[in-house]
């Protein structure tokens, strides 16, 4: 078989090109696909967990597209910190309908609303001063208010405003699951990919939006047939994200704003605190996005902007809107160790087994190392024009150098910036009804077929 080895992708794609490619992709005929739900149960660390997948594949599976390596293309998709599989449905359907790939969207453990077939969460995230929305890790099991304390946190007000967290009480199933979910997530992803992307038949190209990114990188060496990372608005390994968080140039170079070079304090979220999201989480993105798109004049329409934020919240509060992944995504070593020790105490592990479990947890934010370990596969980063957290500056000064200098062997890594879009990259804007999803999917499909992700292909 003859394969085409890709030249280096561009460093920037103009808005005009993005609009043209979006139109071209949307005008492509749709291949008929099947969408099916797959919920399966696993056991991890002495507890049962229900894992939820949404599968998108061509009706005629013999026509699933193949990449430059001759294997079927499997796209494994994780959502971001607020969502579930529905948050990434546009991306999955585009890969399946327009390019003939099989795509699987996985929901983080506990995020799928198992009590209703619609999978939409009812009501709001904060019910009262003592009751909030909580995960459903196992069908029929519910976390009750006596298992946690609701706390208002103002320590990160500059970034989040006032945060609401549910602090799990020791001795409760909530506390036990908050300590154990990282291993359940790891095992669930391995099982999901074995179920749908058998080794030898498929090459897997994984992507994780925002918070899903460090989880995607964590898995990139743990599944043999993950061939590459489609890192669109995809945060890096936790140890790199930790440094990225400390670097205060995320907004890039915007007229009228100067970068502050003092280091931020590292995050110290306890493992047993569940962050409950509100409209504030849209506000912290809407401000920088409006600044990038409209300049300082955006402040002159602040009431209107707030209306947009609250309308958005009303439409999206049916998504899970709670979060616990900071301990991995920001490499909070003390919390990872505390979680591992809480599990070890519950399981009554001896000291050698406890030490092994602690080491396993502490390894989640880092690449695997050692003899016989699979290297980090090639990574193709895409960032949008007006992303709050993913600017070209932070990639060129922090992320890319750390990939090249602190990972051995250094993976092939490249950055392309799209001249349109925001962090939530399926958000519509003028002439882009699905945001930048269609041209992003085409960009990655072409990279897969042209050989960018082949081992040994040029830098």
pLDDT of residue 180 exceeding 80, the answer is yes
- From 3.30.930.10, 1.20.1250.20, 3.40.50.1820, 3.40.640.10, which CATH number describes the 12-450 domain? 3.40.50.1820
Number of residues that this document lists for the chain: 459
Residue 285: which pLDDT band, with cuts at 50, 70 and 90?
confident
Per-domain residue ranges for the chain?
12-450
Task: Give per-residue pLDDT as tens, 400-450.
Answer: 999 999 999 999 999 999 999 999 999 999 999 999 999 999 999 999 999
Task: Give per-residue pLDDT as tens, 108-147.
Answer: 999 999 999 999 999 999 999 999 999 999 999 999 999 9
Distance set, CA 429 to CA 15, 279, 330 (Å): 11, 21, 31
- Could you tell me which residue, 342 or 300, shows the higher pLDDT? 342
pLDDT of residue 299 exceeding 90, the answer is no
pLDDT value at residue 253: 46
The whole-angstrom separation of Cα 114 and Cα 112 is 6
Between helices 351-363 and 333-347, what is the axis angle to 10°? 140
The count of C-alpha atoms lying within 13 angstroms of the C-alpha of 313, restricted to the half-sphere facing its C-beta, is 20
């Amino acid at each position: 078989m003859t394969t085409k080895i890709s030249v280096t992708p561009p460093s920037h794609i103009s808005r005009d090109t993005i609009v043209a490619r979006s139109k071209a992709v949307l005008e492509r005929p749709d291949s008929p696909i099947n969408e099916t739900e797959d919920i399966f149960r696993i056991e991890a660390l002495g507890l049962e967990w229900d894992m939820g997948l949404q599968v998108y594949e061509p009706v005629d599976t013999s026509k699933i597209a193949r990449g430059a390596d001759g294997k079927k293309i499997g796209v494994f998709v994780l959502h971001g910190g607020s969502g579930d599989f529905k948050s990434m449905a546009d991306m999955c359907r585009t890969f399946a309908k327009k390019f003939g790939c099989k795509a699987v969207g996985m929901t983080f453990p506990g995020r799928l609303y198992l009590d209703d077939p619609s999978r939409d969460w009812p009501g709001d995230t904060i019910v009262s001063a003592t009751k909030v929305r909580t995960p459903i890790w196992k069908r029929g099991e519910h976390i009750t208010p006596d298992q946690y304390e609701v706390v208002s946190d103002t320590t990160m007000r500059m970034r989040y405003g006032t945060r609401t967290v549910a602090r799990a009480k020791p001795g409760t199933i909530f506390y036990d699951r908050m300590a154990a979910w990282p291993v359940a997530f790891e095992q669930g992803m391995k099982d999901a990919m074995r179920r749908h992307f058998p080794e030898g038949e498929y090459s897997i190209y994984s992507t994780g939006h925002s918070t899903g990114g460090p989880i995607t990188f964590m898995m990139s060496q743990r599944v043999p047939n993950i061939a590459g990372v489609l890192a669109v608005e995809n945060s890096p390994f936790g140890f790199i994200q930790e440094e990225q968080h400390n670097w205060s140039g995320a907004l890039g170079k915007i007229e009228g704003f100067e970068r502050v070079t003092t280091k931020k304090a590292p995050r110290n979220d306890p493992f047993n605190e569940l962050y409950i999201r509100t409209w504030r989480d849209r506000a912290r993105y809407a401000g920088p996005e409006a600044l990038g798109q409209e300049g300082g004049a955006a402040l002159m329409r602040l009431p209107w902007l707030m209306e947009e934020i609250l309308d958005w919240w009303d439409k999206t509060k049916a998504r899970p809107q709670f979060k616990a992944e900071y301990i991995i995504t920001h490499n909070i070593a003390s919390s990872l160790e505390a979680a591992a020790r809480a599990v070890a105490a519950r399981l009554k592990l001896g000291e050698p087994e406890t030490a092994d479990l602690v080491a396993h947890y502490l390894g989640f934010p880092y690449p695997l190392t050692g003899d016989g370990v699979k290297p980090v596969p090639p990574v193709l980063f895409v960032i949008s024009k007006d992303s709050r957290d993913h600017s070209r500056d932070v990639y060129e000064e922090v992320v890319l150098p750390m990939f090249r200098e602190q990972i051995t062997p250094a993976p092939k890594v490249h950055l392309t910036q799209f001249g349109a879009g925001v962090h939530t990259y399926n958000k519509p804007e003028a002439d882009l009804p699905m945001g930048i999803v269609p041209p992003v999917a085409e960009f990655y499909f072409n990279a897969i077929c042209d050989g960018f992700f082949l081992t040994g292909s040029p830098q």
